[in-house]
Amino acid sequence: MTRTIFAALLLTSAANAQEAPPAVHTETRALPGLSAPGEIVVDRAGIPHIYAANARDGFFLQGYAVARDRLWQIDLWRKRGLGRLAASFGPAFVAQDRASRLLLYRGDMAAEWAAYAPAAKTWTQAFADGINAFVGDVEAGRQPLPIEFTATDSRPERWQADDIVRIRSNALASNIPSEVLRARALCGGDVKYEPLRRQLSPMRPVTIPKGLDPCSIPDNVLDVYMAGTSDVRFDGKKLVVASRVDPDTLEGSNNWVIAPGRSATGRPILANDPHRAHAVPNLRYLSHIDTPELKIAGSGEPALPGVSFGHNEDVAWALTIFAIDQQDLVVNPKGTKLTEVRETIAVKGAAPQEVVLKFSADSPIIHEDAASGRSFAVRATWSKPGASAYFNASWAFTAKNWDEFLIARNHWGAPPLNLLFASRAGDIGWAPGGFVPVRAGGDGLLPVPAGKAHDWTGLLDAKLMPVVYNPAKGWFATANEFNVPEGYPHLLALEWGDRSRITRINEVISGKAKFSLTDAMALQNDATSAMAQRAVKLLAGLQGDTAANRAALALLQGWDGHEGPDSAAAALYEIWAARTLPVSAVKSIVPQDKRLNFGRTSIGNILPVLEDGVLLGNNPALARRNILLSSLSIAWEEAVRLMGPDPAKWRWGALHVADFQPALTIAGREAERRVGPLPIGGSGSTPMAMGSGPDFHLVSGASVRVVLDVGAWDNSVAINTPGQSGDPASPHYRDLFPRWAAGQYVPFVWSRERVLQEAERIIRITPAS
């Protein structure tokens, strides 16, 4: 979308703000648990702006507002995380419940709460009480029961603060699945081909730990782990490891911060668009809390109090995944002493079932191999106090400057993040945070034998993490790439996102003397792929040897890498990059007897191999040519099969569609609950991250986008797809979906005056007697 269109969108929003606002619906109610009167002002985008007499009441009303919009979603999140699905949905969920309980935090709760901001437990219990107040209204018939509960003949449960922080499986820890895939590839494989399977940063040879036989890792070693970390599925299908670690669909994000000297506003600009799996409703929720002692606004997961990223009165912060390796799969020998914990799982429609949870000295056991007597344990930083996902954002809620923001960074446990900072005073910075295990030996790339040689000796002192404060170039951006400063002495991780998004982001920002809010919105929706440009560069000068690859070369050579929904070249490129080039490269480079367990790879791993030629044999140029041409021929034929024989009619948006459907099917209600389909541009390698599944349908990317005008908060904008509400009867269930798909935004205002201008509904709440 062009700069002109974005400017028009902003002007339209400003003009609307000056017009007489539409009629505002007002309602009143009384709630037990509130200490003083408060308000929830819902704006025209469905964003709740919460006004309360104190911070405790603010979080109470936030919990109530979230439950009003997302009760089914957050109730399911809690039941999954705590291992309480079978109580609501029956025997089919007992195994997942057992897995979830195995991965809960089981340490000292006093130490856990002490890791967060001093008021965090009070705030969290208030948030839980607000959810419970809405559940009480539902039970009393004052609010409707969401249709999913009726369809499953289940009911929402009550919350406690401890419930929320004990759940660790939403912490985006890594890299156990990757360790297992690597071990499988090396069972009969060869480490020399590892760069083709997974690029490392910085590059290093893969070394098999002494005492580890890669073939000793069972194929089903992660079944329990996957069950305990995956979303709830009502279709009975099993989640497999490969679907979670495909490099093209890894969850990521973009963020950048612009200093006043480079900003068109004269103030810092902070932009953030976290990328996760798309869903309806999605994983993010926008909200705003305003109390005398605490004022925050931003986005977070709906089941968590406060915001994960956003701003207070003085500072703003943004996040992307910073790929610290926070896990190891530990192989215990036969005879290892294990501790058993027995728990009873309530089962709907059946007798309760007793399950046995087993633990080694420091880790849950996720698999036992009867034949060898070995057991396999997950050693993870999430077992440490302070590792509940995003909870150390609580320290940022009250930060007033860089030094106070670093307190949040120094406490940060999970997920590991690139934290960007901006203040009203004009300062900006980068401070990655997250627990870093210090390994006695090894690099975290493969499972390790139990024993002192591969133990963790502690956690890295957070003050030793790198920082950048007020960079001379006047901006800083991250996109999950390897960005550890050269010479940094501590091993953090070796598996990072490819550089395609950050390459394009850097190109756009560095090319502007002054960067505006409009520029930030345009960049979040930029559909140019540096990966595609890099791939097309390899085609320069090639002459085809079949009608199919000559036609493919004619379409791709000279293409600029822009993946708009109407682009025929983008459609062919994505078929080539996702389906045919990886297969052709692996068949050509890896001997048949070495690729039995090689698994999947992606173009991000293939391009460096094709570029440097090291693995291409005695005649790299010929090998490269053969791989490119053969894969292009097959890609052209596949494009004809999918889109017809006339390339003039091909469109990327014909394959790449946003079509969101709830996980739970309700007969006769699917049309009203489905959101989409809409053709969509971009890909997983563009700043407008739009990751595809095997059928090219959209599966991941930025569900929420936020652009903050730091200090002039009323100028900030956001979008959250498909809408703020999870209720299909709500006007805010899908209202933001077409705007999001078109790259548009809504006001994300801060001042009371502007909030009331944007108001659609005011809910006045008093304490119940």
Higher pLDDT pick, 80 / 237 = 80
On whether the CB atoms of residues 722 and 675 are closer than 8 A, the answer is yes
CB hemisphere CA count around 156 (13 angstroms): 28
Q: Cα–Cα distance between 277 and 689 in angstroms, integer? A: 11
Least confident residue range of 7-21, 329-343, 473-487: 7-21
Give DSSP secondary structure letters for 291-358. Answer: -SS-EEEEEE-TTSSS-SEEE-SSEEEEEEE-----EEEEEEPTT---EEEEEEE--TTS--EEEEEE
Q: Cα–Cα distance between 30 and 48 in angstroms, integer? A: 18
Q: Cα–Cα distance between 623 and 615 in angstroms, integer? A: 10
CB-based burial, 701-728: b 16+ in 10 Å, e otherwise: bbbbbbbbbbbebbbbbbbbbbbbbbbb
The pLDDT mean for the chain works out to 95
pLDDT of 46 higher than 90: yes
Between CA 181 and CA 189, with CA 186 as vertex, the angle to 5 degrees is 125
Least confident residue range of 132-136, 187-191, 670-674, 704-708: 670-674
Please give the average per-residue pLDDT across 14-41, as a whole number.
82
On whether the CB atoms of residues 697 and 679 are closer than 8 A, the answer is no
pLDDT of 6 higher than 70: no
- 85 closest CA partner among 73, 77, 93: 93
What pLDDT score was predicted for residue 242? 44
By percentage, how much of the chain surpasses pLDDT 90? 93
Please give the average per-residue pLDDT across 269-279, as a whole number.
96
On whether the CB atoms of residues 761 and 24 are closer than 8 A, the answer is yes
- 745 closest CA partner among 705, 687, 701: 705
Region label for 652, one of left (φ > 0), alpha (ψ between -120 and 50) or beta (otherwise): alpha
User: Taking the CB of residue 541, how many other CB atoms lie within 10 A of it?
Assistant: 8
Where residue 169 falls among pLDDT bands split at 50, 70, 90?
confident
pLDDT of 146 higher than 60: yes
Strand pairing category for 339-345 and 698-702 = unpaired
Task: Tell me the pTM.
Answer: 0.96
Q: Cα–Cα distance between 277 and 700 in angstroms, integer? A: 4
Please give the average per-residue pLDDT across 568-572, as a whole number.
98
What pLDDT score was predicted for residue 3? 37
Q: Cα–Cα distance between 320 and 584 in angstroms, integer? A: 33
- 549 closest CA partner among 640, 632, 638, 645: 632
From first CA to last CA, the distance across the chain in angstroms is 54
Residues 6+ apart with CB under 8 A from 142: 29
Backbone angles phi, psi at 609, to 5 degrees: -70, -40
pLDDT of 229 higher than 50: yes
To which residue do tokens 């997983």 refer?
Answer: 684
| Cα distances (angstroms) measured from residue 536 to each of 104, 196, 558, 560, 685 | 47, 19, 8, 9, 14
Strand pairing category for 253-258 and 269-277 = antiparallel
Q: Cα–Cα distance between 23 and 21 in angstroms, integer? A: 7
Q: Which alpha helices (H) appear in 116-264, and where do they start and end?
A: 120-139, 147-152, 161-166, 176-186, 194-197, 223-229, 241-245
What pLDDT score was predicted for residue 94? 98
Give the torsion sign (CA, 328, 329, 335, 338). Answer: positive
- 661 closest CA partner among 648, 647, 671, 646: 671
Q: Cα–Cα distance between 82 and 166 in angstroms, integer? A: 8
